[in-house]
Amino acid sequence: MEKQLSLEEIQNFEGKYPKQLWMLFLTEMWERFCFYGMRGILAIFMTEQLLLTDKQANLKYGAIQAFVYAFTFIGGIFADKILGFKKSLFFGGITMVLGNLLIAVSPNEFFYLGITLSIIGTGFFKPNISSMVGELYHENDERRDAGFSLFYSGINLGALLGGILCVYLGKYHSWSYAFLAAAIVMVIGLITFFFTKKYLGPIGNSPLLNLTTNKRRIREVAVYIGSLLSIPLIFIMVKDTDYTDAFMYTIGPLATIYFLYEAYKVKDFGLQKKLLAAFIFILFYLFFNAFFEQSGGSLSLFAANNLHHHLLRVIPMDPNFINNSSNSLFVIIFGPLVGILWIAMYKRKIEPNTVVKFGIGFLLLALAFYVFYYTRFFANAEGVTSLNVFTIAYLIITFGELCLGPIGMSVVTKLSPKPMYGMMMGLWFLASAYGQYAAGIFGADMSTDDNNASLLVKLQAYTEGYKHLAIYALVCGILLIVASPLIRKLMADVK
């Protein structure tokens, strides 16, 4: 039997990246294919097949995405306390496969049930693979930011492929094929993890290894059964967005109280200050997602209706390919370069601190949404505007995301004690849930509830909304940069 690697052997790697990082992002790459493939077609599917208005589709999109990320908080806690990251990931992946297969059988009939299973599955899968990436590094390893940047770039390959293929299959062939493709690649991701998890050593094992096998198994089975028993409740809340409101008003305060309770138990004042700093990053990540996640809602519908179908005037291009995949393509191209840039700047002692990076991310996001607003000045009389300008806005968004997204996950793991990794990553994704929820509300507010509204009316409504989002993002960026000295004191020795 092959000897299991120790945590020390894994963390004492040479070079810029541990070999296990490549295995984890291969697994995550296929999950992101599944997730972003579905994300890119949700709003279009709901308007074309379920016959929802733009306003209804935005609200429903926000609700679905909110539940997806809210469940990551619960999944992170169960992984921390009972399952461990490895078993949590497998359970989540299998549940996601079943959800997509259900929708593939009959998209209109089983849509909400399949989405419910996908919500549960993503909750158990998503936060835990990110937590395992964090455990590949010593607490003070300066290569961690570069590692998360590479991980962030690599998994976007899956998002790129899924974003194009699922939109193509759904819009031009069959919605069943689109959801079937998502299920198939999720199976590939699970197989990849199954054959490479041995190289992770103790990372991701159950925290209950001190218990007898029977006691541990009882608790694990209880988690699986409890998750499946929640299906009817989640199904009802997803189908009726009024229940979504009640859920979101409840889960956030409860999660905050739980975080405060766990932070109080730490008893180390210095560590408590670090946890407060992590919570501030998580809060601003909520705001970031409220703007950024227009991609799957209002921007998806804007792309479907209000953009020319040629890039650079000569390249035929479905605008939803750009909306759903250009960000991922730009991350793949520029993500590693940004990671190398941080390392080079660190060596020259001119690297901006993490708080300022967050602030810069918001400033770039503000610029991008102003460019989205500016598309109104390139529109023709019918309300159809430039795909080129739209694409430029996505390029700017990508640089904003690279200043914040991968570094955000990295700093949360730096500021958190290892026994709280799963919960803190769950909080990170819960902030994304609230961001998705707010994104749906923002998108609905700038949408018309009239399916017969002209394209020009829709263009004016959406672009005016994007101008407001640009202002909100600008305010967030300035606040972070001004407050950076205070937040840096809370972070102490964490860079």
Name the DSSP letter for residue 451: T
With 90 as the cut, is the pLDDT of residue 411 above it? no
The number of distinct structural domains making up the chain is 1
Name residues whose C-beta falls within 8 Å of residue 268's C-beta, 6 or more positions apart in sequence: none
What's the confidence (pLDDT) of residue 422? 66
Distance CA 119, CA 7 (A): 32
- What residues form DSSP beta bridges with 315? 311
With 80 as the cut, is the pLDDT of residue 308 above it? yes
What's the confidence (pLDDT) of residue 1? 43
Which stretches of 405-454 are DSSP H helices? 405-415, 421-445
Does a structural domain hold residue 30? yes
With 60 as the cut, is the pLDDT of residue 16 above it? yes
Distance CA 392, CA 387 (A): 9
SS3 (DSSP) at 309: coil
Packing angle, helices 175-196 and 144-172, rounded to 10 = 150
Distance CA 278, CA 259 (A): 11
Distance CA 315, CA 219 (A): 56
Name residues whose C-beta falls within 8 Å of residue 286's C-beta, 6 or more positions apart in sequence: 431, 432, 434, 435, 438
Contact 76, 128 (CB under 8 A): yes
Does a structural domain hold residue 2? no
Express the helix, strand and coil content of the chain in percent, nearest 5 each: 80, 0, 15
Does a structural domain hold residue 386? yes
Name the DSSP letter for residue 403: T
Mean pLDDT score, 337-365? 86
Name the DSSP letter for residue 385: B
Mean pLDDT score, 275-279? 89
SS3 (DSSP) at 404: coil
Does a structural domain hold residue 377? yes
Least confident among 11-20, 51-60, 156-165, 372-381: 11-20
With cut-offs at 50, 70 and 90, classify the pLDDT of residue 241: confident
Of 191, 188, 171, 193, whose CA–CA distance to 22 is shortest? 193
What's the confidence (pLDDT) of residue 397? 94
Measuring CA to CA, how many Å separate 490 from each of 24, 58, 232, 418? Answer: 31, 38, 43, 19
CATH code of the domain in which 126 resides: 1.20.1250.20
| Phi, psi for 316 (deg, rounded to 5) | -60, 130
Does a structural domain hold residue 8? no
SS3 (DSSP) at 316: strand
CB count in 10 Å sphere of residue 350: 8
Length of the chain: 495
- What residues form DSSP beta bridges with 307? 385
Distance CA 290, CA 32 (A): 20
Least confident among 54-63, 187-196, 260-269, 403-412: 403-412
Does a structural domain hold residue 9? no
What secondary structure does DSSP assign to 328-342, as a single string?
A: HHHHHHHHHHHHHHH
Does a structural domain hold residue 6? no
Q: Which pair of tokens denotes residue 495? A: 């860079």
Q: By CB neighbour count within 10 A (0-12 exposed, 13-18 middle, 19+ buried), where does 293 fall?
A: buried
pLDDT in tens, 422-433: 678 778 878 888
With 70 as the cut, is the pLDDT of residue 50 above it? yes
Contact 306, 462 (CB under 8 A): yes
Distance CA 44, CA 47 (A): 5
With cut-offs at 50, 70 and 90, classify the pLDDT of residue 495: low
Contact 193, 89 (CB under 8 A): yes
pTM attached to this predicted model: 0.82
With 90 as the cut, is the pLDDT of residue 24 above it? no
Domain that holds residue 42: 17-491
For the chain, percent of residues with pLDDT exceeding 70: 97
Distance of CA 304 to the CA centre of its chain: 23
pLDDT in tens, 66-116: 888 888 778 877 887 888 888 888 899 999 999 999 999 999 899 999 999
With 70 as the cut, is the pLDDT of residue 349 above it? yes
What secondary structure does DSSP assign to 211-238, as a single string?
A: S-HHHHHHHHHHHHHHHHHTHHHHHHHH
Does a structural domain hold residue 24? yes
Contact 409, 76 (CB under 8 A): no
For the chain, percent of residues with pLDDT exceeding 90: 36
Own/partner contacts of 273-277, CB < 8 Å, gap of 24 or more, are 273/489, 273/490, 273/491, 273/492, 274/415, 274/416, 274/490, 274/491, 274/492, 274/494, 275/415, 275/416, 275/420, 275/424, 276/490, 277/415, 277/487, 277/490, 277/491, 277/494
Of 161, 40, 34, 150, whose CA–CA distance to 98 is shortest? 34
Name residues whose C-beta falls within 8 Å of residue 492's C-beta, 6 or more positions apart in sequence: 270, 273, 274
With 90 as the cut, is the pLDDT of residue 391 above it? yes
Contact 136, 6 (CB under 8 A): no
Q: Which pair of tokens denotes residue 41? A: 């077609």
